[in-house]
Amino acid sequence: MRKKLIYGDIGGTKTLLQLVELRGGEIHQQFSKRYDSSAFVTFPDMLRDFLNQTGTVNHPVAACFAVAGPIVAQQAKLTNLPWQISSTGISDEFSIPAVKLINDFEAAALAIESLSPNDLVTLQTGQIHAQATRVVLGAGTGMGVAWLTWLEGRYFALSTEAGHMDFAPVNELQIHLLKALHNKFGHVSVERLLSGSGLTNIFNFLQMNAAMDSDLAPINLEEDSGAAITALAQTRKHPIAVKSLDLFAEIYGAYAGNLALAGLCRGDVYIAGGIAPRIVNILSSGGFMRAFRDKGRFSALMNEIPVHVITNSEICLLGARQEAHNLLNSWD
C-alpha cells in the first residue's frame, strides 16, 4: 500500500515543505516548495496552500515538522515569528493521524549520520572518539544548538535553547561591543551576535566606532542584513564589513568551543545554519579555530576535537523526514 508522508523545516525566514510517497519501502519525492514564512499569518494557512498545490487526494498518514523554537507538550511558538503551532491542531485540521513537532536543531542532529563527506568542510581533523558526545550549532535567523548523546547503541538528539545563553566577551573590543548591546537590549544573548541580525549588530557597532576616523559614508541597514554585509565583505571588500565578518567568526569560534567544553564533545562539533556555508572561507582563515582552541589550560584538549561545517542547506529537512518515517513505523 502506498503511504504519503509530509515533513518540513519551519524557520523564521523561510519554510521548506516536502511530500513523499512510500512504495515498497522506498521513498519517492512528489512535491517540494520553499515559502517566505512571513507571507502567511499562520502555519496552517501555509500547509493548506501546500497541500492544495500537491493535488493529492489521499491525506498523508504521518507528518513531522522541524520548528525554530522550543517544543513544549507538542506545541511550539517560533522565536522569530508570531506563529503558534500544535501537533494536535494540525492532526485534527488536516486529518493526518500521526503528527510530531521537533526543534529544528534536534532535526539537524538527527540527520548527521545521513550526511556524506561532500556535505562537510572540515576545519579541524582532531581525533575522533567513538560514541562520544557531539554538538550541532548554527547561526541563521537565530542561533540553534542540539546535543547528540550515545545511548543504547545509537545517538539520541537533545534540543536546547543554548543560543540564549549570555554572550561572554574575551577581549577589550568584545567588552565594548557587549556594553553597546547591553545599552540597547539589556540582556545580551549569544544570538544577539551570532545570527543575521547579530552580524548587523556587529557591523553597526564597528561602523559607529569608525565614524570619527573614516572617510567611508555610513550605510543604513535593515535589522537583519547579514547577507548584505557578507556580500559587502566578499565582493566589494568593504573594510568594516570585512572586519565584521572576522569578529563574527571569532565570537562564533569561542562560543563553539564553550559548547564543546560544556559537553566534552570529543565525538565532533558540527557548524550548521544558513550563514556558515556562505562564509566557509572566513571560518577557514584561522580566527574561528584560534578562538575555538583558546581555552587556557584546556587548549590542548580543544586541538583534539574534530570540527566541521555542514554545507547541506537541507539538513533540518533531512532530519524531519527521518523522524516522519520513524513516526510512521511506530504508528503502524
The pLDDT > 70 percentage for the chain reads 97
Distance CA 265, CA 287 (A): 20
Residues 251-287 pLDDT 10s: 999 999 999 999 999 999 999 999 999 999 999 999 9
At 57 the pLDDT is 67
Mean of pLDDT over the chain: 92
15-24, 36-45, 144-153: segment of lowest average pLDDT: 15-24
At 222 the pLDDT is 82
Average pLDDT, integer, range 40-54:
93
Average pLDDT, integer, range 35-46:
93
Query: How deeply is 55 buried, as exposed, middle or buried, from its count of CB atoms within 10 A (0-12, 13-18, 19+)?
Result: exposed
User: By the 8 A CB rule, do 101 and 113 touch?
Assistant: no
Distance CA 22, CA 28 (A): 6
Average pLDDT, integer, range 301-320:
95
61 φ, ψ to 5°? -95, -15
Residues 89-139 pLDDT 10s: 999 999 999 999 999 999 999 999 899 999 999 999 999 899 999 999 999
Residues 53-102 pLDDT 10s: 987 767 899 999 999 888 999 999 887 788 999 999 999 999 999 999 99
Query: Domains, the chain, ranges and CATH?
Result: 3-109+314-331 (3.30.420.40), 116-311 (3.40.367.20)
Distance CA 318, CA 108 (A): 7
Question: Does the pLDDT of residue 332 top 70, yes or no?
Answer: no
At 167 the pLDDT is 98
Average pLDDT, integer, range 150-175:
94
49-63, 168-182, 225-239: segment of lowest average pLDDT: 49-63
Average pLDDT, integer, range 175-198:
97
Higher pLDDT, 12 or 172: 172
At 212 the pLDDT is 64
Q: What is the DSSP string of 178-191?
A: HHHHHHHHSS-BGG
Query: Cell digits for 60?
Result: 498523508
At 211 the pLDDT is 66
Question: Does the pLDDT of residue 228 top 70, yes or no?
Answer: yes
